[in-house]
Amino acid sequence: MSGGEQQVLDRIERARRRKPVVREELITLAHGSGGKATQTLVEAVFLEAFRNPLLATLDDGATLPLGSARAAFTTDSYVVSPLFFPGGDIGDLAVNGTVNDLAMCGARPRYLSAGFILEEGFPVADLRRVVASMAAAATAAGVEIVTGDTKVVQRGRADGCYITTTGVGVIERPGTLSASAARPGDAVLVSGPIGAHGAAIMLARGDFGIEAPITSDTAPLHDVVAGLLDALPGQVRTLRDATRGGVATVLNEVAVASGVSVVLEEAAIPVRTEVTGVCELLGLDPLYVACEGRFVAVVDGAHAQSALDALRAHPLGAEAAIIGAVAAEPEALVLLRTAIGGTRVVEILVGDPLPRIC
Amino acid sequence: MSGGEQQVLDRIERARRRKPVVREELITLAHGSGGKATQTLVEAVFLEAFRNPLLATLDDGATLPLGSARAAFTTDSYVVSPLFFPGGDIGDLAVNGTVNDLAMCGARPRYLSAGFILEEGFPVADLRRVVASMAAAATAAGVEIVTGDTKVVQRGRADGCYITTTGVGVIERPGTLSASAARPGDAVLVSGPIGAHGAAIMLARGDFGIEAPITSDTAPLHDVVAGLLDALPGQVRTLRDATRGGVATVLNEVAVASGVSVVLEEAAIPVRTEVTGVCELLGLDPLYVACEGRFVAVVDGAHAQSALDALRAHPLGAEAAIIGAVAAEPEALVLLRTAIGGTRVVEILVGDPLPRIC
């Protein structure tokens, strides 16, 4: 092991022993990035106060024992800007996002709630458009929006429309999927080309004067996930949709939670040419750019090809790829073997290059 | 029947036949009041788009069949201003509010999710205070906060901190409580003096230079509700916590949903002297002022006294009262017999005298 690698390991060991501390006195946009600052805030403030075994897993949702049934329960607030963008809007994003978090728990999505925070002066026509989009997304995903709430705040106290969706799904298969379940020898797959949602939002803001034919990848993933789980009973360890913080952040969470190393092959990671182009212009790494219709799967290495076949059998997984493998060491680290033969550490997202992406 | 009464009935009949229409082009604060404008928005926009039998009841929560269990599911977004007020803060308000909505469905509250929308620049110390308050309220109510989400928006795009809590509870008793279940001959009770939460918030804003020893009534109601349901098995028709829009609005919802008349006795309605005083100064009717720890119960008239005894047996119901009765006619109307012997119609709340009360 080189001196540099030893330093990295020492740093991680220190981080693991250290109690997470929020050093900032004021909330910054980075606290909402989904990356390192969010993680520290969640661990130091929320987990510390709400400490209970269900929350402590910090997975995309909680698994609830309800009578003889097991239910998955997950929530997300949506503050995306702009509200309407190529490929979708805040409405289908809010439905698909919660449907996907339920799917990542291995649950069949069933019921959604929707809480609206509206800004005084928001056009009713825009609200109707958002709601129609939610209804269509709910129908497509086979879920019902069964309860809700509406609040209105004064002008300048919101930004048009924020939506919080919460979902309940039924877990019908045995076993529990978790970020902490990855083991050395597992394979890492992604369900399709990454980064399109984040790139579409950046372009929709129009701040950069760039035009490119990129649409958001927002889509409900429960069906492609069901195909994967059916094809590999008991062999799927972890599912995570690669939203805020992108594939890099999700895999860092898996590496830390499972105490393993994830080794990615750069050449194997699917990214559309247009997305690569936009990311280069904006100085972004696609590994950190949010998807809203892509997920990472960690599966038993012996079944990697079956997993790939199962994903590719579904239109939303047609461009799936095996992008890496899980190793025992260096613990809690994501490494990338670059196309030119080097290896670099892929850190968790620091700061927030793309605020309000979802 | 007088000509005036006939006019009222004709108007109601027209309203019942008319499809609800949102006439405004822009969202106003009244759309968040919990009163008439909110109801129209919900019916014309949300119910129309999301139409399904669970949502259509428009009760405080939905009842979900999950395997062999029945679960209650409810959501609320909290945008109260100020965040901290005498008797509570947005944190315990958000927990108690969702606990109470579950209790109103006859469910034992079990699991909560919490979605935070934070404004850039919000003090981390304030967030800690809110979160500590949520944790204490959750412990007091016997619920666990098992999943959550944090988003951050730029300065001027929120107001410090908004929280959306969603709850899942288990319905262990047979039957369904609903606003549509009231029948002629039923008794109407309230669990304690009304209007304290709204009055406390108004005073906390400091806009009026009035000082009075009023604290919010925010409290978890599941325990006092359980006592009532145990004492009157099968005899409780409707439970509603009297939040936005107050007792007047809740009872209008019951009158319309059940197709009955609710006749209130003004002299029987408990209001603390300080709250009456503040309401008089501000030109508010306590019947429309929000409570966050009081509920209305409609029960079989033959068991009114047992219901009252059951409520008074709990500290949170010590000042409960029988405030009225349900009659067959005039359908869909709330009437108030005033202390001086007259009778007036108590309309649903129009406009919003108290924006951002919860």
Distance separating alpha carbons of residues B177 and B72, to the nearest angstrom: 11
Split at pLDDT 50, 70, 90, the class of A339 is confident
Let me know: does A250 contact A321? Beta carbons within 8 Å: no
Total domains present in chain A: 2
Higher pLDDT, A176 or B163: B163
Q: Do A111 and B162 touch (CB under 8 A)?
A: no
* DSSP code per residue over B33-90: SSSHHHHHHIIIIIIHHH--HHHHT--SSEEEEETTEEEEEEEEEE--SSSEETTEEH
**Claim to verify: residue B258 and residue B304 sit in the same structural domain:** yes
**Claim to verify: residue B232 and residue B93 sit in the same structural domain:** no
Among A122, A149, A172, the domain-final residue is A172
Model-level pTM? 0.94
Q: Are strands B62-66 and A62-66 parallel, antiparallel or unpaired?
A: unpaired
Across the interface, which of A26, A49, A66 has its CB nearest the CB of B131? A49
Domain of residue B123 covers 71-172
**Claim to verify: residue B156 and residue B184 sit in the same structural domain:** no
Listed residue (B117, B22, B198, B45) closest to A150, CA to CA:
B45
Split at pLDDT 50, 70, 90, the class of A1 is very low
Is residue B19 scored above 80 in pLDDT?
Answer: no
Let me know: does B296 contact B250? Beta carbons within 8 Å: yes
Among B172, B207, B231, the domain-final residue is B172
Higher pLDDT, A52 or A36: A36
Count of other CB atoms within 10 angstroms of residue A72: 27
Distance separating alpha carbons of residues A343 and B6, to the nearest angstrom: 83
**Claim to verify: residue B168 and residue B186 sit in the same structural domain:** no
Residue of A nearest to B116 (CA): A77
Let me know: does A179 contact A238? Beta carbons within 8 Å: yes
Q: Mean per-residue pLDDT for A235-239?
A: 97
Distance separating alpha carbons of residues B60 and B44, to the nearest angstrom: 18
Q: Mean per-residue pLDDT for B201-207?
A: 91
Distance separating alpha carbons of residues B300 and B185, to the nearest angstrom: 7
pLDDT 10s digits, B117-154: 999 999 999 999 999 999 999 999 999 999 999 999 99
- B227, part of any domain: yes
**Claim to verify: residue A272 and residue A288 sit in the same structural domain:** yes
- B45, part of any domain: no
Q: Do A26 and B115 touch (CB under 8 A)?
A: no
- Residue A63, classed as helix, strand or coil, is strand
What CATH number is associated with residue A135? 3.30.1330.10
Which of A46, A78, A149, A205 is the best residue to mutate to test the B interface, defined by the most B CB atoms within 10 Å of its own CB? A149
Which of B90, B92, B164, B205 is the best residue to mutate to test the A interface, defined by the most A CB atoms within 10 Å of its own CB? B164
Average pLDDT, chain B: 93
**Claim to verify: residue B161 and residue B185 sit in the same structural domain:** no
Instruction: Establish how many alpha carbons lie within 13 A of residue A79's alpha carbon, considering only the half-sphere containing its beta carbon.
Output: 26
ipTM value > 0.85: yes
Tell me, what's the pLDDT at A68?
A: 80
End-to-end Cα distance, chain B: 40
**Claim to verify: residue A166 and residue A183 sit in the same structural domain:** no
**Claim to verify: residue A156 and residue A304 sit in the same structural domain:** no
What CATH number is associated with residue B319? 3.90.650.10
Let me know: does B326 contact B262? Beta carbons within 8 Å: yes
**Claim to verify: residue A284 and residue A309 sit in the same structural domain:** yes
Distance separating alpha carbons of residues B28 and B112, to the nearest angstrom: 30
Residue of A nearest to B78 (CA): A151
**Claim to verify: residue B196 and residue B324 sit in the same structural domain:** yes
Q: Mean per-residue pLDDT for B289-304?
A: 98
Q: Which two tokens stand for residue B304?
A: 């009114």
Residue of B nearest to A357 (CA): B151
Distance separating alpha carbons of residues A17 and A15, to the nearest angstrom: 5
Listed residue (A203, A205, A218, A188) closest to A299, CA to CA:
A188
- A203, part of any domain: yes
Q: What is the number of CB-based contacts under 8 A between chain A and chain B?
A: 283
**Claim to verify: residue A255 and residue A303 sit in the same structural domain:** yes
Distance separating alpha carbons of residues B218 and B88, to the nearest angstrom: 7
Print burial letters for A45-62: b (CB count within 10 Å at least 16), e (below 16). Answer: bbbebbeeebbebbbbbb
Q: Mean per-residue pLDDT for B319-328?
A: 98
Split at pLDDT 50, 70, 90, the class of A108 is very high
Tell me, what's the pLDDT at B11?
A: 52
User: Chain A: nearest CA to B308, how far in angstroms?
Assistant: 31
**Claim to verify: residue A99 and residue A155 sit in the same structural domain:** yes
- B28, part of any domain: no
pLDDT 10s digits, A125-176: 999 999 999 999 999 999 999 999 999 999 999 999 999 999 999 999 998 8
- A91, part of any domain: yes
Is residue B5 scored above 60 in pLDDT?
Answer: no
Residue of A nearest to B25 (CA): A124
pLDDT 10s digits, A247-262: 999 999 999 999 999 9
Among A114, A145, A172, the domain-final residue is A172
